[in-house]
Chains A and B, each alone.
Chain A
């Protein structure tokens, strides 16, 4: 008995030490950031009158509860904390309660809203939010005419990137809501090939590959230079399939493919071409050896460590691995190469881009103050902070982009068609996660060949949709 007690005491001591230590660390950070922020806030208040521009701002009162999708260890939370203290300085009557949930928020928010918990403002991916939380989101159209924070008299609507605003608006129709804006876009992203510039130089690749042929040549050069050309993690397997197929045929075709109830579309020559190309990538050793077992974020760490050269992912990648990659890591990016034999819907006119969103609870008891807070979160200064501290693309117009994403701007400029997340490969819901992705992995790891892939997908589709 005494021994158990001793062990228990030891464990408790360890735990206590851990709590105390981590607690101190946390305090230090917290202590320094609000100080900084409030300093900035007062500075800003005296410099730019726009903070007090909306007449009722200072009269606002009550409480606003804000749930963030960032965790308090991420740089985004620091920027948000600064924006909130700036908001508080301008609106001393409003009490803000912020909760940094991290991405757990996506699981927590729906039960919270449905049980009537007080959450006035929350962050969420707009495409997900408008599908899952339709009955809880407020249409912001009227509020968007208010002047933005720090944007010289521009309205909130005009201060944000038009492509993102249009995208948010288009989602409302797809979701079956009255057309309008239900979210303020922030943290824009695009899905691109990210690559290590130093490794490309070492392999003697001078320009980014535009066609599939050039892409294969780049892979060969990288392999000869002793680098694994391509990798991805389990979380982004869908992107690679969708990226290839939509680059050939456009994302509407991809959607038709994964929702085809007869399975006949899988016999399309493009599917066979895709399967043959994937088989070739595997046979030539262009995929990372660990690609089958990569659990997020193992693969992207390989890129950051210089083991692998290319990764098809969202523009958040450089920030996510910045701690491993270090400040000198040279990021480049390019769109999925053009696939031969496609139709006119594919190519580089289409880009999977979008944004995270800030949304307002329809049942909020304090809408004016809540929206005022949202304005600060997408204010010019907060967005500059996101670009500098979180290496994110700013949502406001005319704000400079982080240098690691300079090449991504090219793709944004070129794109005319917005493709949904995953290029519609996930539109098959259970069929996508249950068959499309796992069978693709069998192909990628060489368990089946191209012909077997086509046959298997056709029969899986028949099996899945057969009963419906």
Chain B
């Protein structure tokens, strides 16, 4: 039976309308807003003042915003290396037929189910605390006083401490996706390789890695999106500290005027927040396109 195109369109209509309403309209409006100076989120369009590219120019010149960009790149790179390193390791261990597989998988995934705020309180006040935190207590017990005296949350260490704490909570999520991808690989390949005398590393590099390339690409894109929108951890770890601020948190400060008061010099401008949002979106689009190109090649079917 052939369905008329018109009927198809009719059935798609509700979804398309909803999509346009709740996704496309806000996006277009935000793009428009980023070219204006806007006193408040609820300001009417008549109150907007056209500013051209001034919002973007101000951002590029602001050392505070630039440090937020540096931070997010650091998070993407260092955090990405940590997360994927451990996620692969755990996924491979789980796949190797270890006992109590489901238990370990749940255990590694568990931190994901805890709220960011709770996790960061635990890290800040029970692990990194310089007087009674886990790290200082542990190093004191072991007699390593120089390590015990490190201030994990001062200017120099705060950024790395935040990344470690964040990765702790995120490894499980990426491990789950990777190990689901690995589960799809037929066991025959491994058996054949085993019979040919391949060792664990060879099996990983020659079978597992090539066959989960698609899954890996997806997780890298997911990680890029997550990292670009890195927000909650910088809010809880540093607030407006330039060592932890990220573009997403900076945008939030600009749009909602956090820490703003009548004495502050800077004029409150929602438009500058909008331009940060646009820049984040563009970054994600560009990086996704690059990744797609990098992982190009024929799809493996098995």
Contact = CB atoms under 8 A, between A and B. Distances in A.
A468 B155 contact: no
Given A293-B152, A427-B265, A435 B102 contact: no
A4 B64 contact: no
A114 B41 contact: yes
Contacts of A431: 64
B3 to A, nearest CB: 41
A4 B129 contact: no
A60 interface: no
A466 B62 CA distance: 9
A312 interface: no
B63 interface: yes
Interface in B71-124: 100, 102-103, 105-106, 124
Contacts of A293: 128, 130, 151-154, 157
Contacts of A428: 265
A434 B244 CA distance: 11
Contact of B258 (A107, A235, A302, A467): A107
A187 to B, nearest CB: 17
Contacts of B128: 293, 295
A234 B256 contact: no
A268 interface: no
Interface stretch (A17-25, A67-75, A124-132): A124-132
A131 B103 contact: no
Query: What DSSP secondary structure best describes chain A's contact surface?
Result: helix
A150 interface: no
A445 interface: yes
B264 A427 contact: yes
Nearest to A115: B42
Nearest to A290: B130
B67 A445 contact: no
B63 A435 contact: yes
B259 interface: yes
A298 B264 contact: no
Interface string A426-445: 11111101110110011001
Contact of A430 (B64, B155, B239): B64
A438 B242 contact: yes
Contacts of B149: 289
A135 interface: yes
Chain B interface size, under 10 / 10 to 19 / 20 to 34 / 35 or more: 35 or more
A434 B40 contact: no
A7 B259 contact: no
Interface string B263-288: 11110100000000000000000000
B200 interface: no
A286 interface: no
A194 interface: no
B114 to A, nearest CB: 11
Contacts of A114: 40-42
B131 A302 contact: yes
B241 A433 contact: yes
A128 B261 contact: yes
Nearest to B161: A293
A295 B106 contact: no
A79 interface: no
Contacts of A441: 154-155
A64 B53 CA distance: 44
B64 A234 contact: no
Given A3-B102, A290-B130, 15 more contacts: A3-B100, A8-B106, A115-B42, A127-B263, A128-B262, A174-B263, A234-B239, A292-B151, A292-B155, A293-B152, A420-B261, A429-B266, A433-B259, A445-B151, A467-B57
Interface of A: 1, 3-4, 7-8, 106-107, 110-111, 114-115, 125, 127-128, 130-132, 135, 171, 174-175, 234-235, 255, 259, 289-290, 292-295, 298, 302, 307, 420-421, 424, 426-431, 433-435, 437-438, 441-442, 445, 447, 460, 463-464, 466-468
Q: Lowest 3 A-B CB distances belong to which pairs? A: A293-B151, A467-B61, A292-B154
